[in-house]
Amino acid sequence: MLTVFFAITTLICAINWLLRYINTAVLFWYLQEKQIPLPTDEEMRRGSDFVVRHLMQDIFHKKL
């Protein structure tokens, strides 16, 4: 019974991972198609910090 449960949850995770990968690839394709430059390493770091900070605020419902 547990084997079936873990197989199903693993399949769900794999499908979600694949969909997220496809969505990210489409976003990068769109940026290139519109000739928008890709972000620099510094912009990626700042963007990651922003997203993590706001994600934590959403999870814990408070200011960090």
pLDDT at 64 over 60: no
Domain ranges of the chain: 1-33, 38-64
- Whether 28 and 38 have beta carbons less than 8 Å apart is answered as yes
Q: Are 57 and 63 in contact (CB under 8 A)?
A: yes
Half-sphere exposure of 43 (CA within 13 A, CB side): 4
Contacts of 37 (CB under 8 A, 6+ apart): 31
Q: Is the pTM of this model over 0.75?
A: no
**What tens digit of pLDDT does each residue of 1-20 get?**
999 999 999 999 999 999 99
